[in-house]
Amino acid sequence: MKNTTLEITGMTCANCALRIEKGLARFPGVQSATVNFAMETASLKFQDGTSTSQLIDRIRSLGYGAREQTDSNHEAGEQERLRSYRRMLWTWLASVLLSAPLAYTMGAHLGLEFLPVPEWLMNPWLQLTLAAPVQFIIGWRFYAGAFRAIMDGSANMDTLVSVGTSAAFFYSLYQTLEGNAHHGLYYETSAVLITLILLGKLMEARARGRTSSAIRKLLQLQASTALVERDGREMVLPLEEVHAGDILRVRAGEIIPADGTILEGESAVNESMITGESLPVEKKPGDSVIGSTLNQFGFLRIRTEKVGSNATLARIVRAVREAQSVRAPIQRFADRVSAIFTPTILLASAVTFLVWYFFLEPQSLSGALEKAIAVLVIACPCALGLATPTSIMAGSGRGAELGVLFRGGEHIERAGSVQVIALDKTGTLTRGEPKLQISESTGLRSVPEILALAASIERNSEHPLAQSILLAGKAENVDLMAVEDFKVFPGGGVEATLSGKTILVGSPLFTESRNIDIAAVSERVEDLEARGMTVVLLSVEQQVEGIFGIADEIRPEAIPVMQELRKLGLELAMITGDNRRTAAVIAEQIGIDYIAEVKPEEKAQAIQEL
């Protein structure tokens, strides 16, 4: 069994999607077919004996275009949609210019005597000249769509529009040729209706383009090239030419091109674009790394393991696309209604004409025709077939921009019945940016002096903890001094020489590993760590002289949001990879249950246990 997603062109309404879906479902070997009008895609599951090219040919035989969806042609498709949108915009503007004079004459029909209507605007030949291009050039797309539907033995929105506007136009043309210049002319009806429906199409296209930007933003996270070791040489290759098993060289400050395992080097990797965690993760040989994350400090030599469609970022993009393509239960119901809606409306319009012509206004052809046309054009099922998929598309797209991935429309729909909400800590309940909370001296120097020393050294580091100390120093206007022999110890701290003295800034564990006694400050270190802070020590010439407490601040909106969610009767839980002490402090301040020390791959299990 195989799966594929095709990009489809030429659809004009939700019934077009249903027509393609039915045509594919009847094709030998196809197990399931789901066509999404809003996303212009078809998701297919079919047997091994059936090929993708056969399915594309089947779609083309129905009068539509199709091609297999890949990252490369997806971008080309986006460019084509942008060009199509611009063409549609200019077409609509032309329709507005031609329809505006006709729309103005409607004031006379409505009895709005305060609107002066020049006699020349009421000339039937002028109205015919204005309405004909709108009807047959601008509105040709509706005739084409209706013809395709009729050839397939069905009816769609284009059928309603073309039948309704054609009835109005040709009746007016008949009256014009008969010389009835001021009786029963409905040129403005056909032209204005086509203009308004095109406006709706324009808004639909704009919504699709806005939602697709979420996927584009995800794809922009990845590197475009990679430095690869091959045949004893180093070469820069496009990402598409990198294979599993290749050896990559990644320098500090570069994006890691692909998922893999570190063979050589130590560094801290910023994985926030994938995991949401703001603090960099310390990496050493044997550790795995994720493509599209940022190598912040050291050189890394990596063996690639997952590339292309198997890479983490590609799977995230695929999850977003699948969520936008899969129908929610309510959408399937709307599609079933749309399938029978058009024939029903055609029948209702015919009945309306007959009742009006023979019973309500006997022998009044214009009156009966006007009411029948009104039934046709007002009942267009466009919104019925488009509202739900567009809502799912917009919701999943906006969610992706905010880091929330829905695995399908069903889950968006079921969100209304959620009873428990599980939240990550870093970047969700907290700002995701460590901030210096406490600066203390052991008594050998003043607090401004120890802050100046630490900030002078940390300004050479890009680590978020280092940046929090540097920002605090700048806020206090301390004097930053030049340092020498700056060294970084990934996962521990930094060392430098200032005025001939060796100074270390790092974690208590790192400080102890450099044979510095921290017994005098160990109680204070434990106290700060119990309050959920990360402790950094400043040591000068093997003696601890400063203590810094750094913590991720709680978002100001976090507590009121949690209170509002509780008022809705929801249970709340925080799931975090942080240690229990830090988690407990944050949870107590916010007033939320918590599960701590949970690895990223274990969070799904933790949610199931809730």
What is the rounded CA–CA span in Å between residue 371 and residue 352? 7
Strand, helix or coil for residue 292: coil
Structure tokens at 80: 């084509």
Q: What is the pTM of this model?
A: 0.54
CA distances from 60 to 10, 79, 391, 435 (A): 10, 21, 28, 59
Q: Across the chain, which distance is largest between two alpha carbons, in Å?
A: 109
Position with higher pLDDT, 308 vs 587: 587
- On the CB side of 206, how many CA atoms lie within 13 Å of its CA? 9
Amino acid letter, 104: Y
Q: Which of 424, 485, 527, 593 is catalytic?
A: 424
- At 151 the pLDDT is 76
Structure tokens at 132: 């004909």
Amino acid letter, 162: S
> Tell me: the pLDDT tens digits for 165-204?
888 888 888 888 877 766 667 788 889 888 888 887 777 6
Domains 2-69 and 225-306 share a fold: no
> Tell me: the pLDDT tens digits for 320-357?
666 555 555 655 565 566 557 778 888 898 899 999 98
Q: Let me know: does 562 contact 572? Beta carbons within 8 Å.
A: yes
For helices 14-25 and 329-355, the axis angle rounded to 10 degrees is 120
Sheet holding 593-595, edge to edge: 420-423, 571-575, 593-595
424 annotated active-site: yes
Q: Residue ranges per domain, the chain?
A: 2-69, 78-217+326-392, 225-306
> Tell me: the pLDDT tens digits for 229-279?
988 788 988 888 888 889 999 988 888 998 999 999 888 888 876 766 666
Task: Specify whether domain 2-69 bears CATH 3.30.70.100.
Answer: yes
- At 351 the pLDDT is 93
pLDDT band with cut points at 50, 70 and 90 for residue 301: very high
Q: Does the structure show a pLDDT above 70 at 109?
A: no
Torsion, Cα of 231, 237, 243, 245 (10° steps): 50
Average pLDDT in the 387-410 region?
67
Please compute Rg for the chain using Cα positions.
Answer: 33
Phi-psi region of 284 (alpha: psi -120 to 50; beta: other; left: phi over 0): beta
**Which fold would CATH assign to domain 225-306?**
2.70.150
pLDDT band with cut points at 50, 70 and 90 for residue 538: very high
Amino acid letter, 72: S
